[in-house]
Amino acid sequence: MKRIIILTVILGLSQALCAQTTTDTAGTPQDGPKLKVDLGIEAGYSMFLKEASPYSANSGFLLRLPLMAHINLSDRWQFNTGLRYDFEWNTLIYNVEPADAGGLAIQTAATTGRQTARMHHSYLGIPVQIVWFPRPTEHRIMGIGLDIYAAYSVSRYLKIHNRDARDTYFGIRTASSTTVVESDDPMFQPWKLEVGLTVSTDVIGLLHGIRLFTNLLPTYIDPATNQRIYTSGITLFL
């Protein structure tokens, strides 16, 4: 219900802001910075820096719903800001299990099955970006942007799915179980302050941008060791 309310607010704001774009009586932009407001959708595939931690992920999927105001400061410079809702699904590297004190531990016992563990976060926050265009008359060819994203995690949880093939009297059967670690686990940290460097283009085809990013705040804090786990990596936008 919380997500539906937030998405409804974003759609309402998009209509209001689009109606407020400044034009003169002839229907052309007035003097001064040109303002454009839009509501979009972006999808990407992320690869993360790996470390020996039960919280480490090797890859993930990203879906964004940005409501953005774009202000052309000059032919080469653009300032962007607004409101953005992010969904992230990150696959963990190691076989993990919930620890007694909260958080995660890497499974040390030998297993014959297969595990898939995915961290889910949805963030609502404010992005601020400055973009430079090498070719001032052709913004779609390339843009190089520096951004910062301050956000709060509206929802977060971990889903662990174990599947084990067992040889029984009646033949081989597959047994499975699912464990969900909810957002009240002390490992989850609600705030994000992410900085990124993006190279974007609309002329390649399938690939529309590459972004290097790092979260300046810890994504997780291990309750047992107080270890702070930070997230960095690269995202390819489709």
Beta strands in 1-103 (DSSP E): 34-39, 42-48, 57-72, 77-92, 96-98
Query: Strands 42-48 and 96-98: what pairing?
Result: unpaired
Structural domain boundaries, residue 73: 2-237
Q: pTM of the full predicted structure?
A: 0.82
User: Does 23 have pLDDT greater than 90?
Assistant: no
pLDDT at 112: 72
Provide the β-strand partners of residue 5.
Answer: none
User: Does 158 have pLDDT greater than 90?
Assistant: yes
Q: Tell the residue number behind the tokens 């040390």, with chain if given.
A: 108
pLDDT at 6: 52
83-111 pLDDT, tens digit per residue, is 999 999 999 999 999 998 899 999 887 77
pLDDT at 27: 37
Q: Which amino acid is at 107?
A: Q
User: Does 40 have pLDDT greater than 70?
Assistant: yes
pLDDT at 166: 63
User: DSSP readout, 172-224?
Assistant: EEEEEEEEEE-TTSTTB--EEEEEEEEEE-SSSSS--EEEEEEESS-SEE-TT
209-221 pLDDT, tens digit per residue, is 999 999 999 999 9
User: Does 63 have pLDDT greater than 90?
Assistant: yes
> What integer best gives the mean pLDDT of the chain?
86
**How far apart (Å, rounded) are the C-alpha atoms in residues 29 and 21?**
9
User: Does 37 have pLDDT greater than 70?
Assistant: yes
Share of the chain above pLDDT 70, in %: 82
H/E element holding 130?
strand 114-132
Number of structural domains in the chain: 1
Structure tokens at 193: 């302050």
Answer with the residue of higher pLDDT: 53 or 9.
Answer: 53
Average pLDDT over residues 190-212: 93
Question: Left, alpha or beta for 141 (phi > 0: left; psi -120 to 50: alpha)?
Answer: alpha
Check: CB of residue 43 under 8 Å from CB of residue 62: yes
Query: What letter does residue 74 receive in the DSSP assignment?
Result: S
